[in-house]
Amino acid sequence: MTDTLPNLQKQLPEKNIEIVRLVIAAAERLEIPAFIVGAAARDIIFGHIYNVEIYRETTDIDFGIAVESWARYGRLKHTLIEAGEFRADNKVGHRLWRGRNADEMKIDFIPYGSIEFTAGRIAFPPDGDFVMNTDGFAEAYQNSLTVRLTEDLKVRIVSPAGLAVLKFISYDDRPQIRIRDLQDILFIMKNYLDADNEKRLYENRDGNLLEDEDFDLRTVGARLLGRDMAKLLTAQTKQIIFKHLSDDESEKGLTRTAETAQRAEEMFDDELPEVVEMFRQLRQGITENLQNNR
């Protein structure tokens, strides 16, 4: 996948474009690195660039922002609110809203970087009782993609591989309420070849997959995804992801992950053995790329 993607094949709704325009403009004025993460990134890349059918189109936009202090984080939010375009959420500190009624949209801002009180952890003020895992965000930003939403608006968006890493971290953080993260990972695996990756099967670097005696076009996308995810992993994120992809008899993390992902499906009809194999191929792709880069 290239660093700069082609123009959208299917235009985003104007209200979405305007939100991105306002947020990116404010972030650039404050010299705060920002990129789109979450389901909005999934929809833009798969649905609006590569015309993959989206099973559950999102109605919110999440931004990852690199800041060194809560003062800088607050300044970005206040800048958007004071302009009269956004309003604060009275209960959720990292959330703003724009629009009303049918046009209302939720915008979340996830801070990471020097603001973390310990590596990969942020605690929201004033009490610090809401803690979030931000492992993987720095690496996801460094490997993000530049997408042209309109002729005059370019934005950085998490890559599908980066999104898969962040989805694993998010699920691990609160597995009881974030089962949909596994559903998104399954979606990415199933559609990864359609995101300009199938041609890699005929190139030198990944062409060896065609010679694999277990080659299966239905699951090879997961293997490619794993290879790309491996480039983004730190020791901490690797440990988290492998916990959910373990085949250890005492843990059975991979089996549980596959079963949970299959139960979360709303529009898919995959049988459990195929889902298990996709997660197994994902793990294999990660493992072989980590070994090759030692």
pLDDT score of 4? 61
Q: Return the percentage of the chain with pLDDT > 90, whole number.
A: 68
pLDDT score of 80? 97
Does residue 51 come out as left (phi exceeding 0), alpha (psi in the -120 to 50 range) or beta? Answer: left
Contacts of 250 (CB under 8 A, 6+ apart): none
183-217 pLDDT per residue, tens: 999 999 999 999 999 998 888 777 678 777 677 87
23 phi and psi angles, rounded to 5 deg: -65, -45
Q: Does domain 14-158 have CATH number 3.30.460?
A: yes
**175: preceding bond cis by omega (within 30 degrees):** no
60-109 pLDDT per residue, tens: 999 999 999 999 999 999 999 999 999 999 999 999 999 988 889 999 99
Q: What is the DSSP letter of 91?
A: S
pTM of the model: 0.93
Domain residue spans in the chain? 14-158, 168-292
pLDDT score of 1? 45
For residue 185, the surrounding DSSP H or E stretch is helix 179-191
